[in-house]
Amino acid sequence: MKWFRRHSFSHGVHPPAHKEGTAQVPIRRLPFPPRLILPLGQHLGAPARPLVKKGEEVVRGQPVAAADGAMSVPLHAPATGRVKGIESVLTARGSREAAIIIDVYEASTQEVLWREHRDPHTLGRDQLLQAIQDAGLVGLGGAAFPSHIKLRVPEDKSVDTLVINGCECEPYLTCDHRIMLECPDDLIAGIRLAMRASGTTRAIIGIEDNKMDAVELLGRKLAGDREIRVQAVETKYPQGSEKMLIKSLLNREVPAEGIPADIGVVVNNVGTLAALGRLLPRGEGLIERVITVTGPGVKRQGNYLVPLGTPIGFILQQAGWEGGVNEFILGGPMMGPAVSSLDTPVTKGSSGLLVLNEPHIREESRPRWPCIKCGRCVSACPMHLNPALLGQLALAGEYEEMADGANLAHCFECGCCSYVCPSNIPLVQLFRAAKAINREKAA
């Protein structure tokens, strides 16, 4: 069958998958926490604008914050309860942001009581894009880019292909894998809606070949389909990066500082499109998501459906964490941010909660040594950069030279260089700092 051909890109790394603890565990719903914390900036772009005030009752599904401009999406109440207030909270990014705090009604049935009924199949393209924005949909793979913006192709661009990212190349994470296995009809419905919204004429679902059960299931579902096909790609990190996946599937290259639409492509994550296919026909907003809760510090590892705004401390309690010296990562170990507060909430871009216990933390906390010019980072970089040179320039404060002479803009911070560095140099952190400094200078 055609999906058994393997496609890939050059370079990259092969970290241990660590997916065996959750890959075969069905999605389960966690209980509702007593309190939800909803940051207003759960997406790239302008934060949402609050529609509620302290003391107000809200029902599950009700809009509680409106989109504040084109590059913004609304927020919906993940549970029925009462607004405790709008307060400044610590987020996974390490900054403090305004958030709506909801005290959840313990005795509520927590059924969705607010819907905006409209048939997505009868909507025009602009109306469909508006419905996607109204549903609060963003990229659920981690970037949290507003979905209506990604699907609204600029007027000066011409696109032909929708690429659906089912790679899930980060170690430990399996929520996308389970969504493909358990919600294939929602995914296919979402793909068809996304094709209409973007104006693409074909779609390709790219899935790493360590998930052949998902490849075969979707292949059977789409047998004979002339618009949507499934393609297995090599299991390798960062296969799930949109630039790498486009290269693997279509042999097209996104230009530096460009977007996929520059080469005729729109990319979306499988979790995002499954949510689109489920929510739009129901007239509901995004109020919950599936996350992988895993790691050597968790007793009941699995894939859990949790309301947005659930504090990670509550999730850990339900998943069997007994305390101790741990490190908590929201997302995967390669690109996910480490968090220190158990009050940090799950947001739209949180794909996992990884708990590393003391032995694993000690293993990762090796001393840092000077660069030995071994070239491993050069061989690993999927963008064919020289991370060693970039790192030396960063340590010397030559930030403009990093951008002008060493192509810093090509780096998408995948972490391959840091992963292979025998000197344990935090290359990605140096590159992020350099980018931030250059942005400040430009501003």
**Ranges of each domain in the chain:** 2-23+119-282, 376-442
Under CATH, which architecture does the 2-23+119-282 domain have? 3-Layer(aba) Sandwich (3.40)
Please tell me the distance from the alpha carbon of residue 270 to that of residue 285, in angstroms, as a whole number. 17
Q: Supply the pTM of this predicted model.
A: 0.93
Q: Which residues of the chain have pLDDT under 50?
A: 1, 3-4
Contacts of residue 245, Cβ cutoff 8 Å, sequence gap at least 6: 163, 165, 167, 206, 233, 239, 267
The pLDDT of residue 443 is 80
Please tell me the distance from the alpha carbon of residue 431 to that of residue 425, in angstroms, as a whole number. 11
Give the count of beta carbons closer than 10 Å to the beta carbon of residue 316: 20
The pLDDT of residue 3 is 46
Nearest to 304, CA basis, from 213, 184, 178 = 178
% of the chain with per-residue pLDDT over 90: 78
Nearest to 199, CA basis, from 151, 138, 247 = 151
Please tell me the distance from the alpha carbon of residue 309 to that of residue 77, in angstroms, as a whole number. 9
* Partners of 304 in the β-ladder: 28, 291
